[in-house]
């Protein structure tokens, strides 16, 4: 396989074939993210991608899923992306699902029938970083879309029959807008009704714009206890018809894995116990990105 730069993938794609089709991120402006800092986004050459698919056809026969790296594979023009999926179908017939990262811009660029076409050729799940449903915070972190657009693009993916996994960030709004961020994120999640929600806890990365804001006193990083309270508000305001809400990423202080609406009351009780000090939180040295 030909890998360049930082290769990232969702935790749920740990056992997938990692096929790098782009280098970097098409957005690469979010103030909290340092993953692709200094990396110019580009789509890899077709011969390299085809060679990697051929490699997987020989050496990756146990993996049943493919994940298209890196930051936003959906941005690839439809004709080229469809050709990649078709080649995966041809050479890796045992693969049951292809996944990729997406953002509001790349989803908007695809017509609805194009998303349906991608779904018909194996694209089974898209992962999108919502981060927050609060418009003020979305603007502050340079996400490139407001809550209304996030809702529309998320619903578009769902309506096309593609599973959707959204990521939200505890602590991203700082102290002043913490409760607003939590409540509005719950509202937006409920409106989109994704299949999966992953809540991560903010970890400041040296060299990022948000870290500089923190170092200069312009951003207040909330405490672990405040993140728990933020999580409770967010979770209480999140109503999914049939989705999973996870806060079990390595960055989180309190691991949570819930199926909604079934587990809502039990998880709220668990969070309350942690807030009251009855459940120990993960120590700082065990947290990671």
Name the pLDDT band for 281 (thresholds 50, 70, 90): confident
* pLDDT value for 286: 66
> CB-based contacts of 265: which residues, under 8 Å, 6+ apart?
none
Looking only at the bridges linking them, the beta strands covering 196-201 and 243-246 are: parallel
At residue 198, does pLDDT exceed 70?
yes
pLDDT of residue 285: 65
Cα separation, 31 vs 141, in Å, equals: 5
Note the pLDDT tens digit of each residue in 127-157. Answer: 999 999 999 999 999 999 999 999 999 999 9
Residue pLDDT, tens place only, 25-64 = 988 899 999 888 878 899 999 999 999 999 999 999 999 9
User: What is the crossing angle of helices 112-120 and 147-159, to 10°?
Assistant: 50
What whole-number distance in Å separates Cα of residue 107 and Cα of residue 117?
13
Q: At the topology level of CATH, where does 11-283 sit?
A: TIM Barrel (3.20.20)
pLDDT at 282 over 90: no
Report strand pairing: 257-260 vs 22-23: unpaired
The predicted pLDDT at position 158 comes to 98
Q: Please say whether the beta carbons of 284 and 259 come within 8 A.
A: no
Backbone angles phi, psi at 260, to 5 degrees: -100, 145
Alpha-helical segments (H) within the chain: 46-59, 78-91, 104-109, 112-120, 135-140, 147-159, 178-192, 209-215, 224-236, 264-275
- Predicted TM-score (pTM) of the model is 0.94
Residues 38 and 92: beta-carbon distance below 8 Å: no
Interatomic CA distance for residues 72 and 68, integer angstroms: 9
3-state secondary structure of 273: helix
Per-domain residue ranges for the chain? Answer: 11-283
């Amino acid at each position: 396989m030909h890998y360049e730069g930082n290769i990232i993938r969702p935790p749920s794609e740990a056992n997938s074939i990692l096929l790098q089709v782009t280098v970097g991120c098409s957005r690469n402006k979010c103030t909290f993210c340092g993953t692709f800092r200094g990396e110019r986004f580009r789509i890899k050459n077709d011969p390299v991608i085809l060679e990697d698919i051929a490699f997987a056809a020989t050496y990756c026969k146990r993996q049943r899923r493919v994940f298209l790296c890196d930051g936003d594979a959906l941005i690839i023009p439809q004709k080229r992306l469809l050709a990649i999926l078709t080649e995966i179908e041809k050479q890796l017939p045992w693969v049951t699902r292809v996944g990729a990262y997406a953002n509001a811009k790349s989803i908007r660029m695809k017509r609805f029938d194009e998303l349906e076409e991608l779904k018909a050729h194996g694209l089974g799940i898209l992962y999108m970083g919502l981060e927050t449903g609060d418009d003020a915070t979305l603007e502050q972190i340079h996400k490139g879309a407001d809550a209304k657009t996030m809702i529309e693009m998320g619903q578009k993916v769902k309506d096309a029959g593609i599973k959707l996994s959204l990521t939200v960030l505890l602590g991203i709004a700082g102290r002043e807008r913490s409760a607003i961020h939590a409540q509005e994120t719950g509202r937006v999640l409920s409106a989109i009704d994704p299949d999966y929600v992953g809540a991560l806890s903010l970890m400041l990365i040296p060299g990022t714009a948000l870290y500089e804001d923190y170092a200069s006193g312009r951003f207040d990083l909330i405490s672990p206890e405040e993140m728990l309270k933020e999580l409770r508000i967010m979770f209480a305001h999140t109503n999914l018809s049939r989705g999973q809400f996870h806060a079990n990423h390595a960055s989180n202080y309190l691991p949570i894995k819930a199926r909604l609406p079934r587990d809502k009351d039990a998880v709220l009780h668990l969070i309350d116990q942690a807030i009251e000090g009855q459940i120990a939180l993960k120590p700082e040295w065990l947290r990671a990105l």
